Structure 1
Amino acid sequence: MNLLPSFSRYQRTDLIWLGLLTFLLLALGIGLRAPWPADEPRFALIAKDMVETGQWLFPMRGNELYPDKPPLFMWCIAIFYAITGSLYIAFLLPSAIAGTVTVLAVFDICRRLWGSREAWWAAGILLASVQFVLQAKSAQIDASVCMWVTLGCYGLLRATLCQAGHITWWLAGCVAMGLGIMTKGVGFLPLLMLLPYALVLWRQTSLQTLPKRYHWGWWATGVLTMLVTLLLWLLPMLLAVDGRLDPAYNAYRDNILMKQTVTRYANSWHHIKPFWYFLINVVPWAWLPLVVLLPWQWPHWRSAWRKNDARIVMPLGFVFLVLVFFSMSPGKRGVYILPALPMLALAMAPFMPHIADKKWLSRMLWGLPLLIGSSFFISGGLGLVDTGPVAKLNQRYEVDGSVLFLTTGLAVLVVLFAVRRRAGWQAWGVTMLVLWCSYSVGFASLLNPIRTPAAVWQVIDSNVPANNEIALLDTGEQFMLFARRPIVHFGYHTPPEAEMFAAWNWLTMNPAGHLLLPASRETVCLDLTKGHSVGKAHREDWLILGADGLREDCPPTDIKTTTFRYEPINPLIR
């Protein structure tokens, strides 16, 4: 017995308009800024190198193998770079497209399970959530992972809950999971939804709501399909590693298959946070406004649980299991739980028509936009008279954002006045629209000069002869991305002490060269008073240091290091 009849006249017009409007929102601002730290420059550099060198199988940054992530996300940026010829456009497009596809998938499955009105609610509250749009406007890997995970969940829900469902939808979802693993190791997360599905089947003895449509062999076939999809990348990579007989490639294979998956989850070496980190430090702000809806959603979820309604139990169980899964790992970042957000929107959407106009909920959804708009307006006004938090930000980043804060706050207050007779959810929607437009255009243009090292390289190129090599010490990938001359680095996985000794040794052997390093770097190997300032970037003062800055004794190290030389083929020029 199926839950709902399938749609006999499915209207594609809604999907087309929703896709266009979503993409316009998420793509707004593309081309106005460069890749920003921490992750964006790394992925952009790797993608740029793929196109320029033709080396697509093994991601590299400055001729050093990059084993931290599978290559699919970098391939996407590289494809758009090859098509557009502009890295400023290409590096943000995959996330904008991924966000659009995610919204469309949630809309479609919600429409099939509940109806058109509920589907618009699902898409709306997902687009209203802070973390989802923020990641879709960033060139981090997580928006793409969220898309593949959502498509995996879509395939499972479509196969089990829709009248027109078929096992091929489950297989399609498993293909999406395989591609998700090729993007980031956690692409298998939709498999967690099989647990609440099994729970619904187990409780079916008294409540006949869901058929046992497929036996275990079909589910195993799906998992096998996921593994076969993964082999499309994994098998060529393994064969290439075996054929090269190079220890560096062997280390790449071992790192990406074990250290960056099993070890990273079970025994993380950074971002160590307590078990409750996501619930206390991330969800309260990142999942706004959905967290505000929880008290009004809870009675409806409890009723759905009693009725064994798989349309709620399965997505909501998935959200719970994702939170538990990542909370159990000692290493935590806020973006890890993003894949749970679309399914939370799906579980909330059916009850939004019943709770959206509740008095206290509407007041809360009105209060937050008023607080946001007033905070921006007052902070911007105080910044104009050199006081308040914005003034401190102006001094810290050496920019003047007071006018932008003031105008953004004023714009929020004006649109809130225009919708003053509307419900709270509409007030939140127009507020977020104003904020994302301001972020995408105004703040991107304001912050771009200080979040890139372009000015530092201009000073270097004006004062250091072009035939003199520059070695990078304790810098991020963005310095390599903006370089317009051959550079040297000593590996991004090299321990700081070993990197320092390698740099000292290199400059000793190449007295005509220079080191580029932050002025805050303390070391017994270098006399930083002999360095010359070349500007400020990323809240650091940067120095160029010649051979005259070498001190005689630099503590040696037993750690072997490799010197990498990188020559940009097409320098990143706006």
Structure 2
Amino acid sequence: MTPQRREFFWFLAIALLVLGAGIGLRAPWPADEPRFVLVAKQMWDSGDWLFPHRGHELYADKPPLYFWLLGAAYALVRDWTWAFLLPSLVAAMATLAMTYDLGRRLWSHRAGLWAAIAVLACVQFIYQAKRAQIDPTVVCFITLGVYGIARHVLLGPAWRWFWLGCFAAGLGVISKGVGFLALLALIPYALMRWRGWNGLADIGRGNALRWSAGALAFLAAIALWFVPMIVTATTSGDPEHQAYVNELLFKQTATRYTAAWHHTQPAWYFLEVIAAYWLPFSLALPWLFPRWRDAFRARDARVWLPLGWALLVLAFFSASPGKRDMYILPMLPMVALAAGPYLENVTASRWFRRALLALVIVLGVVFLGAGIAALHGDPSFESKIEAQRGLPPASDTLWWLLALTGAAVLAACAWWRRDALKGAAVALSILVVVLFSGTAVLLDDENSARAVMSRGHALAGDATLGLVAWKEQNLLQAQGPVEEFGFRKPVDAQLRAGIAWMLAAPDERRLFVQQDALGGCLLREHGQDVGTANRRTWWLFDASAVAPACRASTR
């Protein structure tokens, strides 16, 4: 094995350790994880892979490819606790590998390795890769799309890679809709070819059909799901299928982009995200800007095709009023790639190393200080976190975890104080592995709703639970028979339907109700407090708890 290959495999091993830590130690946590896993589980149980469901209702917020991947992971390991994080892990590892490989081919092994390290060092990348959300998968498909296009226009001609990139963009579309962004890489390529930039491949002329085949590959990937779905929706005669198509194709795409109804942010919001959520990679940006300026003056397409594409993605998401921090995550691999040939020199700077070490020391001090303060005092944050996460006030395990994590971070910085890069890498790896694994064990019962659902069924005995004002984690973690009365349906309508359902067979049915939805129809003194989960309190009621007026109205 060559030294270069050995370095890359060591990098992959470290990445697998950091990104894989905690898998199998927890169930899905809100906000998105229980919803996505529930949809995938219902697909698996029902065999309906075209139309996602959340409970009885169709779920039209997202296309289904990510749910198919969750189902494939479950088919592999047959345990949702292990399966639900595997697609994110595989997608993240593939993204790192593609970033390295493209950097290696464009410049050198070291440039590719530094580019991949920059991606792995980003807080946002690590956090998303350790969550069961669609974003890591979309980032992987978009990265593959740009990778394929770059292999063609910078290192080609390589028509098969170009077609694969277009196909990957289509897969991104049926994951979250924005996979088409990979194709924007053709815009800087066209401009650079027109202006005669350096570093472009000599593809030649007379290739109109081959270029057009890229569009066919893009549409073919989308058609894998869209064609059977639209045929079924138009021939089934089911109005819910038609409503699903309208919701997905219009409200969740065009309307969500042009007139977002939540997560509204100012135009400069993503600049704040880059500065804070891309740490510690973002510390290198002040040193990178002059080098990118010089590459622009030199008309270096190898640097500015990925960087120009990233700027187009930034402009695209900044133009929409609705913004969330993870939207620009697909930019990261290409920005890191454009930084790859310069990062070895940048990280050799004394001031960069001081800034990096200072950042890591501050993190260590914060964790150590918070743990000690909670162990030896009663700060407000301690009581708040314990109340929100269902931790007994007498338990100090979480605070010991924070204190020991902070101490380990500071110890690593002290041990490698003469090598800030190694010290920061070890310290941050310790922080991620210990913190994510420890909190997965300590907070899972509360965050996943596993404990409250177990108590609810224990109190109900053999009775069926009717869920009112439920969240996805309640249905996902339900043990035994359950019934639900709609998710998007107004809470008062759910409660009325639930009461009527319970009174129809009072000996065999109970209601499991969120406290905020009780209203006046259920008498709390006749109910049982089941406990809390995700900062919500849940109650169990039998038919004796229904107020007489409400009982009469259901007859």
State the TM-score, normalizing by the size of structure 1.
0.89
Which of the residues 483, 501, 504 maps onto 1:488? Answer: 483
Cα separation, 2, equivalents of 1:54 and 1:231: 20
Give the match for residue 404 of structure 1: 401
Offset of residue 368 of structure 1: 0.3
Give the match for residue 190 of structure 1: 182
Give the match for residue 370 of structure 2: 379
- 2:425 maps to 1:436: no
Cα separation, 1, equivalents of 2:382 and 2:288: 37
- 2:333 maps to 1:337: no
Task: Write the deviation string for residues 438-491 of structure 1: whole angstroms up to 9, x where unpaired.
Answer: 12311111111211222222222222141x332212221111111122222222
Q: Residues 525 and 167 from structure 1, CA distance in 2 versus in 1: closer, same or farther, beyond 3 angstroms?
A: same
- 2:110 maps to 1:117: yes
Give the match for residue 442 of structure 2: 446
Matches within 5 A, 1:380-529: 380-388=371-379, 389-390=381-382, 392-399=384-391, 400=396, 401-423=398-420, 425-466=421-462, 468-507=463-502, 509=504, 511-512=506-507, 513-521=509-517, 523-529=519-525
1:471 partner SS: strand
Cα separation, 1, equivalents of 2:358 and 2:461: 59
Conserved in 2, the CA contact under 8 Å of 1:200 and 1:313?
no
Matches within 5 A, 1:55-454: 55-162=48-155, 164-204=156-196, 207=197, 209-211=199-201, 213=203, 217-280=209-272, 282-388=273-379, 389-390=381-382, 392-399=384-391, 400=396, 401-423=398-420, 425-454=421-450
Cα separation, 1, equivalents of 2:10 and 2:424: 21
Q: Residue type of the partner of 2:433? A: C
- 2:527 maps to 1:534: no
Offset of residue 391 of structure 1: 5.2
Cα separation, 1, equivalents of 2:9 and 2:57: 43
Offset of residue 529 of structure 1: 4.7
Offset of residue 15 of structure 1: 5.3
Q: Share of identical aligned residues, percent?
A: 41
Cα separation, 1, equivalents of 2:53 and 2:406: 43
Q: Residues 15 and 413 from structure 1, CA distance in 2 versus in 1: closer, same or farther, beyond 3 angstroms?
A: closer
Q: Residue type of the partner of 2:64? A: P
Cα separation, 1, equivalents of 2:461 and 2:335: 57
Q: Residues 141 and 426 from structure 1, CA distance in 2 versus in 1: closer, same or farther, beyond 3 angstroms?
A: same
Task: Write the deviation string for residues 16-41 of structure 1: whole angstroms up to 9, x where unpaired.
Answer: 55444423332222111111111111
Q: Residues 219 and 267 from structure 1, CA distance in 2 versus in 1: closer, same or farther, beyond 3 angstroms?
A: farther
Task: Write the deviation string for residues 542-566 of structure 1: whole angstroms up to 9, x where unpaired.
Answer: 1113334445667xxxxxxxxxxxx
Task: Write the deviation string for residues 161-217 of structure 1: whole angstroms up to 9, x where unpaired.
Answer: 11x44122110101111111121111111112222222222322xx55435626555
Cα separation, 1, equivalents of 2:129 and 2:382: 26
Task: Write the deviation string for residues 195-244 of structure 1: whole angstroms up to 9, x where unpaired.
Answer: 2222222322xx55435626555433212210111101111112222332
Q: Residues 402 and 21 from structure 1, CA distance in 2 versus in 1: closer, same or farther, beyond 3 angstroms?
A: closer
Q: Residues 127 and 34 from structure 1, CA distance in 2 versus in 1: closer, same or farther, beyond 3 angstroms?
A: same
Offset of residue 132 of structure 1: 0.6
Give the match for residue 553 of structure 2: none
2:377 partner SS: coil
Cα separation, 2, equivalents of 1:100 and 1:455: 33
2:267 partner SS: coil
Conserved in 1, the CA contact under 8 Å of 2:198 and 2:300?
no
Conserved in 2, the CA contact under 8 Å of 1:51 and 1:82?
no
Conserved in 1, the CA contact under 8 Å of 2:157 and 2:201?
no
After alignment, is 60-69 or 309-318 more displaced? 60-69
Offset of residue 266 of structure 1: 1.6
Q: Residue type of the partner of 1:213? A: I
Task: Write the deviation string for residues 246-272 of structure 1: whole angstroms up to 9, x where unpaired.
Answer: 111121222222222112212222222
Task: Write the deviation string for residues 287-340 of structure 1: whole angstroms up to 9, x where unpaired.
Answer: 111221111101000001111111111111122221221122222221111111
Q: Residues 242 and 395 from structure 1, CA distance in 2 versus in 1: closer, same or farther, beyond 3 angstroms?
A: closer
Conserved in 2, the CA contact under 8 Å of 1:30 and 1:92?
yes
Q: Residue type of the partner of 2:475? A: M
Q: Residues 522 and 155 from structure 1, CA distance in 2 versus in 1: closer, same or farther, beyond 3 angstroms?
A: same
2:517 partner SS: coil
Cα separation, 2, equivalents of 1:519 and 1:128: 42
Task: Write the deviation string for residues 130-158 of structure 1: whole angstroms up to 9, x where unpaired.
Answer: 01111111111110010000000100111
Structural RMSD (CA) = 2.3
Cα separation, 2, equivalents of 1:202 and 1:464: 72
Conserved in 2, the CA contact under 8 Å of 1:380 and 1:390?
no
Cα separation, 2, equivalents of 1:435 and 1:369: 10
In the alignment of these two chains, the number of paired residues is 540
1:451 partner SS: helix
Cα separation, 1, equivalents of 2:495 and 2:314: 40
Conserved in 1, the CA contact under 8 Å of 2:146 and 2:165?
yes
Conserved in 2, the CA contact under 8 Å of 1:519 and 1:528?
no
Matches within 5 A, 1:20-31: 20-31=13-24
Give the match for residue 558 of structure 1: none
Cα separation, 2, equivalents of 1:80 and 1:470: 29
Q: Residues 349 and 552 from structure 1, CA distance in 2 versus in 1: closer, same or farther, beyond 3 angstroms?
A: farther
Give the match for residue 568 of structure 1: none
Cα separation, 1, equivalents of 2:452 and 2:518: 21
Unaligned runs of 5+ in 1: 1-8, 555-574
Q: Residues 527 and 320 from structure 1, CA distance in 2 versus in 1: closer, same or farther, beyond 3 angstroms?
A: farther
Offset of residue 406 of structure 1: 0.6
Q: Residue type of the partner of 2:317? A: F
Offset of residue 410 of structure 1: 0.7
Q: Residues 551 and 195 from structure 1, CA distance in 2 versus in 1: closer, same or farther, beyond 3 angstroms?
A: farther
After alignment, is 92-101 or 529-538 more displaced? 529-538
